[in-house]
Amino acid sequence: MSRFFQGIGTLLFFGCFLAVVVFTLQSRPWDDTEGPTQPGGPGWDPQPPQPSHAHPEPQPDRSIEERARAILNSTPLIDGHNDLAIFIRSEYKNNITSGRFVKEFEKGGMPLNVDLPRLRSGQVGGAFWSAFVGCPVNASYDMTDSNYATAVSHTTEQIDVLKRLQARYPDDFINILTKTASSTESEYMLDQWRSSSRKPMFGSLSIEGLHQVPPTAPMSTLRHYYELGVRMATLTWNCHNPFADASLVWNDYSEPPSVVNGVFRPKEGAVTAHGRRVLKEMNRLGMIIDISHTSYWTQKAVLSKDEDGPRITRAPVVFSHSSAYSICPHPRNVRDDLLDLVPESNSVVMVNFSPGFISCTSAPDHNLVSDGPRFSLPEYFEKNNTLHQVARHITYIGQRIGYDHVGLGSDFDGMGNETPRGLGGVDKFPDLVAELLRMGVSDEDMKKVVGGNVLRVWKDVEDISATMKDEGVEPGLDDASGF
């Protein structure tokens, strides 16, 4: 923490950051955990960043930085997961007209990783802006509407604050609900982005876990969320829910999360029968299924074909913010055998930048995936907490399964106050693109990574939705037994 406070010039500034630090250390309610430091293990990269000039498209007249800027000018950078909304809730109590918020958002200087000047200088083309709220206490075991009720009401507040923010800054966000042409929404957003010299950002929303819908009314609630602009839903956050199993369970926020890699519901499977019906409704609606945060077995169930039938999702899926397990063996990351399934469904893994997920060393029992319920978390390895390490995750996945299946899912504003060195906020995206070009990623592949791939998935999801509606698939029904 001492390093963190160096260079902070005023008490006011200190106060802002202290609030963030206290909040972050006390609750860290929006993402996972990391452990102490130790070298060695599969994530260990003893070499400092080694610039490579062996990229396949040498263009000697243009610097790497110029190429990076050109890529971000031609293809919108779509971040799979941005947690600005929960930070507005925690830091500004959702008051986006307060003098302090207006000043810091418009002029810059918001604590953590995001504000308008940094979004512009980072050439951010948009994000799935997460209307995140944490799991209810004991959500994995008490799956009643009453236990989930507060999470649902907070979700409507977080969707509302994102919509108010976008309405207040119409030149900066493309409102998905303004589409009138016959094109799909993803095509409409792309047209809007391309045709405006200001390059407004995609305003697509997401929710992060099906604890954000009532256990007995997921279908109708997801349809309402869709009407409000939600186009992606993660199946779990750090709790199991009636529909799918999570990779980590944070049952009580006074204790650290525990790892649950085993099958929580072996009889039903890691995606329950109820969950399978919800996935079908998401396919029908045109809502992207996100399997970040879910357990190994949930991911396997979603990505695999059934023995005598198709996958449980007709549309491709995303990992909106997950990195490579072979580089950092954290249960939030994607194991190699699952990475290998990703191309079969034309899906995408969007790499998370959070320090605890990019740089860690093995927990002694990390290879166990089926003998649950509790395993150790890996140890955080501070030395590799760098922009280069994030780039290593991206190139690892790109080289293993192809650059058609990698994207960016920063987790900015959701990782607390510690960020990878060189990648402290949304303004640093061009530096990451430049690093990947230095490591030999071609300009064409880079365009896919920054946004082309997730836009392809989104279009596929929209097309499957249209097909299902043409086939006459009716909206899924909730349990309507109550009075």
Q: How far apart are CA 156 and CA 234, in angstroms?
A: 16
Q: Shortest gap between Cβ of 354 and Zn ion (angstroms)? A: 8
Decide: is 31 part of the binding site for Zn ion (CB under 5 A): yes
Distances in whole angstroms, Cα of residue 157 to Cα of each of 160, 214, 345, 412:
5, 15, 34, 20
Stretch of 30-38, 117-125, 154-162, 355-363 contacting Zn ion, by CB under 5 A: 30-38
Residue nearest Zn ion, CB atom distance = 31
Q: Shortest gap between Cβ of 81 and Zn ion (angstroms)? A: 6
Site for Zn ion in 263-282 (CB under 5 A): none
Distance of CA 194 to the CA centre of its chain: 24
Identify which of residues 31 and 445 has a Cβ nearer to Zn ion in the complex: 31
Total residues contacting Zn ion (rule CB under 5 A)? 1
| DSSP secondary structure letter of residue 324 | B
| DSSP secondary structure letter of residue 270 | S
SS3 188: helix
Q: How far apart are CA 283 and CA 129, in angstroms?
A: 20
Q: Shortest gap between Cβ of 234 and Zn ion (angstroms)? A: 7
Q: Shortest gap between Cβ of 442 and Zn ion (angstroms)? A: 30
Contact 157, 188 (CB under 8 A): no
Identify which of residues 55 and 81 has a Cβ nearer to Zn ion in the complex: 81
Q: Shortest gap between Cβ of 258 and Zn ion (angstroms)? A: 17
Query: Residue 349: which H helix or E strand, with range?
Result: strand 348-351
Stretch of 24-32, 85-93, 155-163, 304-312 contacting Zn ion, by CB under 5 A: 24-32
Q: Shortest gap between Cβ of 32 and Zn ion (angstroms)? A: 7
Q: Shortest gap between Cβ of 31 and Zn ion (angstroms)? A: 5
- Whether the ω angle into residue 218 lies within 30 degrees of 0, i.e. cis, is no
Stretch of 31-39, 116-124, 275-283, 466-474 contacting Zn ion, by CB under 5 A: 31-39
Q: How far apart are CA 301 and CA 270, in angstroms?
A: 7
Dihedral sign, Cα of residue 35, residue 140, residue 318, residue 426: negative
The interaxial angle of helices 64-74 and 429-438, nearest 10 deg, is 120
Identify which of residues 148 and 319 has a Cβ nearer to Zn ion in the complex: 319
Identify which of residues 79 and 445 has a Cβ nearer to Zn ion in the complex: 79
Contact track, Zn ion, 82-121, x by CB under 5 A: ----------------------------------------
Identify which of residues 31 and 172 has a Cβ nearer to Zn ion in the complex: 31
Q: How far apart are CA 63 and CA 66, in angstroms?
A: 5
Applying CB under 5 A, the residues found at the interface with Zn ion are 31
